[in-house]
Amino acid sequence: MTEFVLHRSAAPSTPEQRAEILANPVFGHYFVDHQVIADHDESEGWVNPRIEAMGTWQMHPASAGFHYGQEIFEGLKAYRHDDGSVWLFRPEANAARFVRSAERLCMPRLPEEAFVDAVRKLVAVDSEWVPDGEGEQSLYIRPFMIASEPYLGVRPASGYTFSIIASPVGAYYDEPVTLWLTPNYTRAAPGGTGEAKCGGNYAASLAAAAEAEAEGCGQVLWTDGAERKYIEECGTMNFMYITADGELVTPELNGSILPGITRDSLLKLAPQHDLKPVEAQISVDELFDGVASGRIVEALACGTAAVVTPIVGFKAPGGIHHVVGDGTPGERTRALRTHLVDIQYGRAEDAFGWTQRVV
């Protein structure tokens, strides 16, 4: 793929308009002035890679993505350090996952270097949209790809569009959640698309999220699709718990769990917190017994958007309600979160070489 060509917006936001939005950003509501777009054609490969003014697209109503769900996405952030510089966190991991998601959905491979290059260029051209690090504000970056060929036959489409859009994210609020063990839904099945970051997984999760909310819970606790016996994830995040004897335990990647970059990063930071990282099959019984007996002392959900969300309880049908520890966010959960966020904002040593400067 050749270079992304920049066509600057003829009507970018004014500094005043930007300042007003950045003073009160609403996640996913306001967007930066530009978007990345590249098209993929069966015979020519990636064509016309460009950065242009943010705006609506035209797509044929028969575009395959509308009908059969060939759509994948990624999520990462740009962080402003105290000295004003702007950094990315492990974008090459997102690029690699994007390739794996594309392969699962029979979509074309976007070279990993092109993915990272496109993210860097969009962030550079719209760097003034990256908020101050104060209150953990950041710029959320959303690369995605959708089948655009107008054809209603069921087969991999012959045309695709790759794009990146970005939206400023405001201050973080520490909101502990209780998880609902849904008896009615699963997120992913063996051999399904659970491991791919595709829109369809999210569409299928919404009914369960509504059920959790009706039960007064913040997120769903997902179990495996075959036996509904083992823990997989929670909501749209990975799940972990901490034991009294110092283990950081998370479900092992089994093909239906999304391999989170935050998950991987926390496992790698664990030893610095005197925690032994453990990836294992975890049954619901083991989890609930561990919480009831006090063997499990903290629990957390992790993902790029909220980084780490403390889990303070579990609810299940039949009036089952387990409180983790004393029902408040755990100390080590906080410490892990702070450590990761400090690396992202340049306040802690980046021993793994995870961050890269854009401007």
Ligand X SMILES: *Cc1c(COP(=O)(O)O)cnc(C)c1O
| Chain residues that interact with ligand X, rule: CB under 6 A | 75, 197, 233, 236-238, 258, 260-263, 303-304
Report the alpha-carbon distance of residue 241 to residue 297 in Å, rounded. Answer: 8
Q: Is 148 helix (H, G, I), strand (E, B) or coil?
A: coil
Nearest CB to ligand X, comparing residues 138 and 262:
262
Min dist. Cβ of residue 256 to ligand X (A): 10
Report the alpha-carbon distance of residue 297 to residue 299 in Å, rounded. Answer: 7
Min dist. Cβ of residue 249 to ligand X (A): 16
Handedness of CA 279, 285, 287, 289 (dihedral sign): negative
Nearest CB to ligand X, comparing residues 237 and 341:
237
- For 102, the token pair is 């594309």
- For 329, the token pair is 């966010």
Report the alpha-carbon distance of residue 9 to residue 52 in Å, rounded. Answer: 6
Min dist. Cβ of residue 187 to ligand X (A): 7
- For 143, the token pair is 């690369």
DSSP characters over 249-278 = EEEPP-SSS---HHHHHHHHHGGGGT-EEE
Nearest CB to ligand X, comparing residues 4 and 140:
140
Nearest CB to ligand X, comparing residues 18 and 77:
77
Min dist. Cβ of residue 334 to ligand X (A): 18
Nearest CB to ligand X, comparing residues 52 and 112:
112
- For 9, the token pair is 């917006």
Min dist. Cβ of residue 266 to ligand X (A): 9
Cβ neighbours around 98 below 10 Å, total: 24
- For 328, the token pair is 């408040």
Amino acid at 263: R
Min dist. Cβ of residue 10 to ligand X (A): 34
Nearest CB to ligand X, comparing residues 27 and 57:
27
Nearest CB to ligand X, comparing residues 93 and 296:
93
Min dist. Cβ of residue 260 to ligand X (A): 3
Amino acid at 35: Q
Nearest CB to ligand X, comparing residues 9 and 309:
309
Min dist. Cβ of residue 52 to ligand X (A): 27
- Start-to-end CA distance of the chain, whole Å, equals 23
CA dihedral 190, 194, 198, 200 (to 10 degrees): 70
Cβ neighbours around 216 below 10 Å, total: 9
Cβ atoms of 231 and 221 closer than 8 Å: yes
DSSP code of residue 12: P
